[in-house]
Each structure stands twice: as structure tokens, then as C-alpha cells.
Chain A
Amino acid sequence: MGYTVFYLSAIVIVPLSTLVFGAFRMDPQAFISTVTSPRVLASYRLSLSTALVAAIFNAVAGFLTAWTLVRYRFPGRKVLDALVDLPFALPTAVAGICFATLYSPVGWIGQILAKADIQLINAPSGIVVALIFIGFPFVVRTVQPVLSELEPEMEESAQSLGANRWQTFRKILLPHLFPALLTGVTLAFARAIGEYGSVIFIAGNLPFKTEIAPLMIMTKLDQFDYDGASAVAFVLLLISFTMLLVLNGIQRWQQKAYQ
């Protein structure tokens, strides 16, 4: 216990408390006007909504990937399995540059999309693409171990008792997988809120349109406005923390309901 507390303090609490102090050093009036300025609010909205969309997408795609990797045996499965972790290992700026190049009007995919008059780059949808990429491994890696412990016999017995596929999924699989899935989605979501490196290359960074909250922090720092940057970061931290608390609560409630 002592070790855990020490470790958490050193790694998480101390660095974050400097941020809180920075924010509290400010005059309350200045703090409020900083974090409620329309531009900052727009950036919060954008960051939260794109992160949420990306997390929901990852919930489905990640679940299917985990399912395939656990339940099917096919050549190249191990390679695919290793590929899942790549977004963790790659510097996110590299990913951002790859996406920006790929989806630009002269890029491979961008050319095709341009014909269909779809513009991903420099638009919120581009941000979602980048966030899906960085959040993907979280869902796969949390669902996978739970799924591999579930025995196929359970589904088979459900089916032999007359359940159709949907019922099997809904009544047998989902209750087991839900906590893990929710954890994965939460992690992906939290990660996406704070993501900076990959997004700035693809977002276009236009005020009120594609300016994410972490960019607002960088912008303030570049004006040597440390207090303003702390204020924006502090609110972002507060939002993330509240979201994590709520999701943890849902998980606990769900587990209780199941037991």
C-alpha cells in the first residue's frame, strides 16, 4: 500500500499538482474569463466530441478485431496480433504526418475522396481518423484476455437451449465482456482527449473549426502565458477526471447488477 501511494504520488499526483497550483495562482476572474472564452469552449467541445466518436467507433472495431484474433486460427494471425500494438509504439507525430500525406488531395486515399468531394484532412472527420488510430489498441487489448477465457461451450450450450445468435450475444457474451469493453473505451477516450501530436498535422487548426484543446494550451504557452495555459489544462483535466469517475461508476454498477 505504502509503495503504491508513493509511486502514484511521484508519477501522477506531484506533476499534476503543479498544474493545479498554476491555475490557482490566477485571479479567479481571469481564470473564468480564460476558460469560458468562446474559442476555448469551442476547442473543448471539439476535443470531447471527436474523442467520443472515435471511442465509440473503436468499441465496435476493437471488439471485432479481438473476437477474430481469439476465435479464429488463420495464417498470419500472430503478425496481425503484433500489429495491433503499433499505434502505441509509433510516435504519434509520425502517424499524423502519415495520415496528412495519405488523405491530402494528392495522396493515395485523398485523391479518391476528392473525386467523391469528401475532405477528411483539415476537418473534424480527419481528427476522428487520427484518434481512432491512437485509441484502437486499448479496446483490443482489454477485451482480448477476457474473451479468450470465455469458453465457446457456453455459447454452444446457449444455442442448444434454443437461443438465437443475437440472444447469445446479448445475454451470454456481453455481460461478461462489458466491463472490459468499457475499460478499453474509457482508456481510448481519455487518451484521445489529450492527444496532440497526431492531430495537429491533420486538423488544419482553424480557430472555432478544427482547433483542439491541447493546441489551445500550446498556443497560450507560445505567448508565454503560463497561467492561461494552466487554466485551460486544469479544466481539461477536470473534465477527463469526471468522465473517468463516471465510467468507473457505470462499470461498478454493471458488475453488481450482473452478480
Chain B
Amino acid sequence: MRPRLHRVSHPPVPVLSESRFFFYENFLSTEINLTMKHFEIKASRLTAGIVLFSSLLGTAAHAAAPANITLLNVSYDPTRELYQSENASFASYWKQKTGQTVTINQSHGGSGKQARAVIDGLEADVVTLALAYDIDAIADTKLLSTNWQQKLPQNSTPYTSTIVFVVRKGNPKGIKNWDDLVKPGISVITPNPKTSGGARWNYLAAWGYKQKQTKSAEQAKAFVKALYKNVPVLDTGARGSTLTFSQRGLGDVLIAWENEAHLILKEFGSDKFEIVAPPVSILAEPPVAVVDKNVEKHGTRKVAEAYLNFLYTPQAQEIIAQNSYRPRSAAAYKKYASQFPDIKLFTVKELFGTWRQAQKAHFNDGGTFDQIYTP
């Protein structure tokens, strides 16, 4: 158990004026801004009384303010490097603003497994997972409210990514687009969508490409089936597939997160691999959320919310771009535009509805993925 030092954390500044500081005006609409303020006020209802009282008096503030706060961010695999930088940046921002020292512990693993860990009692203050369905599953256990995705701007996703291909240097098989993946003799590496969040994005990207092209779900299904015929191994996670492709030399093409693709080039050398951006792909939105029950228990709601809102600030958006995630901020995107090839992106909502619906139709037992494989 991590030590919890306090029940109510409050900075020596009045809480209401502070909530303005959370927002990054440049890319937030007033509408969201208003609901956010509302949420902020409502959310801190439990502690607002005490906080306001002591703030107005201006006394006892220093005595009650804890010197150290610990947050636990439960995240998925590829964000390790991203959050290391973000956490350091947030800690200095928070220290400057409130004088408190905040330590953020990170936990990483497969997105579904991490969600399960939180459901089973891992006391995460915030979760930052690979797809909305995993946070929905946590919401089903009442640890946070089911409308969590409306609580932060842009579907609660401060950064996005997409799905691209990694091929061996020189692209010997001439892979340019999704259609090349179903050609006979091409070996495709992608993890198992049953166990990997990243693989579900891969699957929906391939499906969506075909469905947009042909306007037919039947053809999309046949296309995905043909694609998985070319898959010789289904690793349980995205990192496993990365290793299978890069270390063990299996496969002609790896379907991967854009940020993971950049990492492969960085780690294993751009003299061995190259990235191929398909003309059409999916807008992957890995969402973030405060786990209500846990922050109430730890008294860390204010700092947890500030932490997630911080991810939308210009400073944090820059770190996001540096880690090869696509920033939401237009300014940061422009600055690092050379990293992000022009891909026509479609959303899950556009083609598949909510993540719950997508999960049910494609990945649950008896879904389209199960129908690909027959004895």
C-alpha cells in the first residue's frame, strides 16, 4: 500500500479562481469550458466547504497542506516514456503553483489487464488506457461514473494516435496500402485483439478501410478474414508483436501504433526498418479519466484532475508530440508536423458507434473476430 498522508489536499489559493487555470483556451470551446467548470465545482463538493472556509480565513492553510502527495497513474504499455516526461513536467508545475511536492507512480501493462487490476482493487487515482471500452468496464463497477468520457475535453483524450505499417528496410514486398496486406505470400504481424487493446485498433482500422471503400460490412468482414489468413502468430500484446517482428525476424509487415512504430525505428535502427503510412487509417483515441471512488478515498481529487487537465496545456502537448503521439493542440501539431504523415483518419464513432458496441460486435465471444477462425 502506498502511504496516504492526508484526507483533504488543498493549496493556499482559493479553489474557484484556480479552476480557470485548468483550461487551455486556445483549443477548448467555451461550451466545454463551462461544463468543465461546473464539473470542477461539483466534483469538489465534498471538500469545497472546508477548502473555501480555510481559504477565506487564510489561516491554517499551510498547516493543513500536505507537503507530499502521491498519485497512481495506471496506464497501458507504450505510454511509459510519455508519462515519464509528463510526470516530471507536471510535478514542477504543481510545485510552482501550490508548493506541494507531487510524486506520480506509473503502472504499465496490457490495457485490458490494467483495467482488470483496477477493478480488482488496484487503487489508481487516474487511468490512462488504450481504449474507451477498458475504462467503461471499470465504470461498470461504479468506481467512476458511466459518463466519464464527457468530463474532459475532446472525448477525454488529450492525445491521439493512428495505426501504421512497419516494413523491413527498402520495403522489399512493396507494401503501400491495406490491400497489399491480403496478397498471397505476405506475412502480417499483429497481436490478438482478444487480449490486446492495440490489436483492436488494428482490426478496426483494416475493417474501416474496407467498409469506407466498398460501403459494405460484408466485404469488410471478408477483407479482415483474408488479412488474418496471412497472420502466422497472434501475440497477446502489442509489445510482443513488436518483438516478434523486429527481434525474431518474422513477418513482412507489422501493424502498429504510430508511436510504437517510431519507437521501433529509434530502438532497433532506421537502417533496418521503415514506416509506411497507409492513405487511410483510424483515429485512435486513448482516453484518460479520474477514478472517482479512489480519489475520494485518498483525498487527491484536486491534484488528479489538475494532472489530467495539465495534459491539455501547450507545454504538455509538446511533450506528447515529442513522444510521437498526435497532439490535440494545433500549435504543437504544426511544430512537429513533419513527424505526422498525412493520413485520412476516420473515428470509431463514425463507423462502429460506441466502443461498447464495437467490442460486442467484433471482439466478444461469437463476434466477427471469432468467426474468422473455424476449426
Interface residues of A (CB under 8 A from B): 37-39, 42, 100-101, 104-107, 121-122, 200-201, 204-208, 215, 218-225, 228
Given pairs A223-B365, A224-B115, A224-B140, 8 additional interface contacts (CB within 8 A) = A39-B370, A42-B375, A100-B248, A107-B248, A201-B240, A207-B234, A221-B112, A223-B363
B134's closest neighbor in chain A, by CB?
Answer: A224
* Shortest 9 CB-CB contacts between residues of A and residues of B: A104-B248, A106-B249, A207-B373, A222-B112, A204-B233, A205-B234, A219-B194, A222-B195, A122-B233
Q: Establish whether residues B192 and A208, one from each chain, have CB atoms under 8 Å apart when the complex forms.
A: no
A77 CB, nearest partner CB in chain B, Å: 36
Taking a contact as CB atoms closer than 8 A, the residue among A101, A206, A222, A225 that contacts B234 in the complex is A206
- CB pair A215–B236 under 8 Å, yes or no, is yes
Tell which of B137, B195, B233 touches A219, judged by Cβ atoms closer than 8 Å.
Answer: B195
Pick from B110, B116, B140, B375: contact of A38, CB under 8 Å: B375
CB distance from B264 to the nearest CB of A (A): 16
CA distance A188 to B338 in the complex (A): 56
Q: Say whether B194 contacts A206, CB under 8 Å.
A: no
B248, A106: Cβ atoms closer than 8 Å: yes
Which residue of chain B has its CB nearest to the CB of A206? B234
Q: Is the CB of A204 within 8 A of B234?
A: yes
Q: Which residue of B lies closest to A205 (CB)?
A: B234
Q: Report the count of interface residues on B (CB-CB < 8 A).
A: 30
Tell me the B residues contacting A by CB distance below 8 Å.
110, 112-113, 115-116, 119, 137, 140, 192, 194-195, 231-236, 240, 244, 247-250, 363-365, 370, 373-375
Q: Can you name the residue of chain B whose Cβ is closest to the Cβ of A97?
A: B243
Chain B interface mostly helix, strand, loop or mixed? loop
B234 to A104, Cβ gap below 8 A? Answer: no
Chain B positions within 8 Å of A220 at CB level: 365
* Contact for A101 among B112, B113, B248, B375, CB less than 8 A: B248
Show 20 residue pairs from A and B whose CB-CB distance is below 8 angstroms, ordered by the A residue.
A38-B375, A100-B248, A104-B247, A104-B250, A105-B249, A105-B250, A206-B231, A206-B234, A207-B234, A207-B370, A218-B236, A219-B192, A221-B116, A222-B112, A222-B113, A223-B364, A223-B365, A224-B115, A224-B116, A228-B365
- A39 and B373 in contact, given A222-B110, A223-B363 (Cβ under 8 angstroms): yes
Cβ contacts under 8 Å, B110 to chain A: 222
Among A106, A206, A222, which residue has its beta carbon within 8 angstroms of that of B233? A206
- Asked if B375 and A223 make an inter-chain contact with CB atoms under 8 angstroms apart, the answer reads no
B310 to chain A, nearest CB (A): 30
Is the CB–CB distance between B365 and A205 below 8 Å? no
Let me know if B232 and A122 touch, CB within 8 A.
Answer: yes
With a cutoff of 8 Å between Cβ atoms, the chain A residues found around residue B234 in the complex are 204-207
B250–A101 CB distance below 8 A: no
B236's partner among A38, A42, A205 (CB-CB below 8 A) is A205
Alpha-carbon distance A42/B364, docked complex (angstroms): 19
B residues within 8 A CB of A224?
112, 115-116, 119, 137, 140
> In whole angstroms, how far apart are the Cα atoms of A223 and B137 in the complex?
9
A205: min CB distance to chain B, Å: 4
* Contact between chains at A208 and B247 (CB < 8 Å): no
Q: Which residues of chain B have C-beta atoms less than 8 A from A106's C-beta? A: 248-249
